[in-house]
Chain A
Amino acid sequence: MTISGKIAVAGIYEHPTRFAPDKTDSLIMAECARGALEDAGLSLSDVDGLFSAGISMGPMGVVQLAEYLNIKPRHLDSTNIGGSSFVAHVSHAAAAIHAGLCEVALILYGSTAASNSMAIGTGMGSGGGNPDAAFVSPYGMTTVGSYALIAQRHMHLYGTRSEQLAEIAVATRQHAALNPNAKMQRPITIEDVLESRVISSPLHLLDCCIISDGGGAVVVTSLERARDLAQPPVILRGCGEAVCHQEIGAPDLLTIAAHQSGQNAFSMAGLSPQEVDFCTIYDSFTITLLATLENLGFCQPGEGGDFVSGGRIAPGGDLPINPDGGGLSSNHPGMRGIFLVIEAVRQLRGGLGPRQVSGAQIGLVHGTGGTLGTMHSGATLLLSKD
């Protein structure tokens, strides 16, 4: 009854824009829908499942999106678990397709986070708010601050150094330099990262993802149908989801949702980290990527700093990560999960020129949603060539 090996990504589209003050979120999503359906060789009338989530979207956002697109799908899913939502949407779509609830699932995200000057990373906390938030809001925990709490703890326990976190930013920028659509292409050094201003210790400006506009779309269908469509299918081998929170008891702050979602995905796929050729991992901050690698089992807890050093995750390394330039350098319109899926599919289709990961057969996608230091979600996918 497993969905492993039965469902495929048949269409993808990443909006090339990084700044779009003349567009709305809905328009960006509609343009992405057009792009992904064209890519798959399908039309809007084929779509019978709609999946979306957003920052500015209201509780009925997916209904409004269906109205904007003038479609009447028979399956709706507006699961919002933060930036990882769109990774989870792929597994939700797979389950729905496998159960016969829909056949062509369209997953959409779009946002004008940059042109709206959304202070995603450094504008949180206030005195008031609701009773649940009152335990955090007086203290001005920013998004960066939440992740910084994890980074500080990691450094304390394992001796991880800022230079090692900086390796992640440097490697990701090297990837971005090979992607013409990436927002930040100028090469940076470890010194550049360490000399950039501290936003929330120990995280520097260049440890933080950028903010851009943008959007993307993914079309999921059965492998059987995908084989008759325009693109080589990329097959879902395994998936997993998890949630982690830090409020009750004394949980280990460094065991994050990726630990559970990764185990489930590897187990479903019958694969191990050693068999993965590349990853797309949510890099909201350098520490996010480092903690995710440890929790997915690519290295032991505490070894992340060594693991990411020496070019291992850079272009041409043993395990290239975020070959599109990630959120640190390519794009980050508020929530980034959909681009993790899109880039993994691009790499597995192949033919990307200088930034193609050579011999890419199996890719791992992992999204983190929410704030690592308080509560967050994780969603993992293992994808392969047909």
Chain B
Amino acid sequence: MSSGIEYKTPATDWQTRAFWEGCGRQEIVLQRCRDCGAIQHRPRGLCASCLSSDIEHFVAKGTGEVHTFTLTQQNGMPAFRENCPYVLAYVELDEGPRLMTHIAGCPPDSVRIGMKVRAEFVATEGQLGVPRFVPA
């Protein structure tokens, strides 16, 4: 299970800080364009649908479903090598955007596409956090 993986403090910049600070408060923060209404993730400095700079942030419900996943059995990188297997997944949030993430909190071989999940957060330095998902 992915619980053994230690998350490093995410690298941030002004475009992405609101998301990672949200994770520090145990919230999934998404961006919405005030001009065209598009919701986007990953965050960026403007709206990738209409190029407007008028972006606002809002707190998402933090729930969604597994869109697809893979049980990673082999990764040579030191941070992951000892923690295989772990479940890498795309979770589709109820608000629409998909996040790449880990699925934890259940036996890896029980993960299914369509499974309802909710976000949990692993705190890192700087009062930030990294989200992963567990069965809802």
A-to-B contact residues, CB < 8 Å: 119, 122-136, 138-142, 144-145, 148-153, 156, 197-203, 246-250, 253, 373-374
Contact B48 A248 (CB under 8 A): yes
A4–B86 Cα distance when bound, in Å, is 48
* With A125-B77, A140-B88 as contacts: A247 and B41 at CB distance below 8 Å: yes
Contact of A140 among B13, B16, B42, B72 (CB under 8 A): B72
* With A134-B16, A139-B100, A139-B101 as contacts: A149 and B68 at CB distance below 8 Å: yes
B118 to chain A, nearest CB (A): 17
Contact A200 B71 (CB under 8 A): yes
Chain B interface mostly: loop
B86 to chain A, nearest CB (A): 7
Set of chain B residues within 8 Å of A131, measured between Cβ atoms: 10-13, 15-16
Contact A198 B42 (CB under 8 A): no
Is there a chain A Cβ closer than 8 Å to B98's Cβ?
A: yes
* With A152-B69, A153-B68, A249-B96 as contacts: A142 and B11 at CB distance below 8 Å: no
Interface residues of B toward A: which range?
35 or more
* With A124-B75, A134-B11 as contacts: A153 and B88 at CB distance below 8 Å: no
B-to-A contact residues, CB < 8 Å: 5-13, 15-16, 20, 38, 40-42, 48-49, 67-77, 79-80, 83, 86, 88-90, 92, 96-102, 113-114, 130
A-B contact count (CB 8 A): 135
Contact A126 B79 (CB under 8 A): yes
A372 to chain B, nearest CB (A): 11
Contact B74 A142 (CB under 8 A): yes
* With A131-B16, A140-B5, A247-B41 as contacts: A125 and B11 at CB distance below 8 Å: no
Besides A152-B113, A246-B98, 8 more A-B contacts (Cβ < 8 Å) are A131-B15, A132-B16, A135-B99, A141-B88, A197-B74, A201-B70, A246-B90, A247-B42
Set of chain A residues within 8 Å of B8, measured between Cβ atoms: 126-128, 138
B37 to chain A, nearest CB (A): 12
Set of chain B residues within 8 Å of A202, measured between Cβ atoms: 70
Contact of A250 among B42, B74, B92 (CB under 8 A): B92
Contact A130 B100 (CB under 8 A): no
A149–B72 Cα distance when bound, in Å, is 10
B125 to chain A, nearest CB (A): 11
Contact A250 B73 (CB under 8 A): no
A114 to chain B, nearest CB (A): 15
Set of chain A residues within 8 Å of B7, measured between Cβ atoms: 127, 138
Contact A125 B49 (CB under 8 A): no
A156–B100 Cα distance when bound, in Å, is 18
Contact of A149 among B13, B38, B90 (CB under 8 A): B90
Which chain A residue has the least Cβ–Cβ distance from B68? A153
Contact of B73 among A134, A201, A249 (CB under 8 A): A201
